[in-house]
Structure 1
């Protein structure tokens, strides 16, 4: 896949599935945590994998 956002949402969805939130409050916290789990290293890796930039930039 050549769209970095797809990789991001994949990570977020995997995180949310692992949390298995059953209430709105749990889901709200899980979404916050899932988005916080996306690191700069993840983003750079996804863009590099999708050929948008090189790892040395």
Structure 2
């Protein structure tokens, strides 16, 4: 069990580490929405290609 000064030192160290980490996204709302829509369009294209490939294999 940490005693005395060790506990405070551990807290300070943890706070420094947490401050150094990058958190969340840094995009604005419109940028985030556009990125999300672009990703969705790419996924829809991939799904359409996969469905076309499956349909071609069945024939």
**TM bucket, shorter chain:** 0.3 to 0.5
Q: Counting helix residues as a fraction of each chain, which structure ranks higher?
A: 2
> TM-score, normalised to structure 1's length?
0.36
